[in-house]
Amino acid sequence: MPIHDMIAEGDRVAVIGSTSWTCNATGNSVETPKVDVWKFKDGRAVEFYEYFDTARVFAAATPA
């Protein structure tokens, strides 16, 4: 995932980037922005959320 920005405050980190996938079944590819949000406690990750355009990914996985 290419990282475009990283924002950290307290125990939270947000990573803004992009990602791409190719669906093996259809051969379709998709690129989408992606955001990961992490929460750390005592040096360990305790929460993780991932956000991306699921409609684009679903469309790439759907045969034409």
Task: Look at residue 61 and give its three-state secondary structure.
Answer: helix
pLDDT at 60: 87
Give the predicted TM-score (pTM) of the model.
0.78
Residues 41-59: tens digit of each pLDDT: 999 999 999 999 999 888 8
Residue carrying the six token digits 């679903």:
58
Per CATH, domain 3-61 is 3.10.450.50: yes
Are 16 and 35 a contacting pair, CB within 8 Å? yes
- Domain limits of the chain? 3-61
Give every strand in the sheet of 44-52, ordered side by side: 3-9, 12-22, 29-41, 44-52
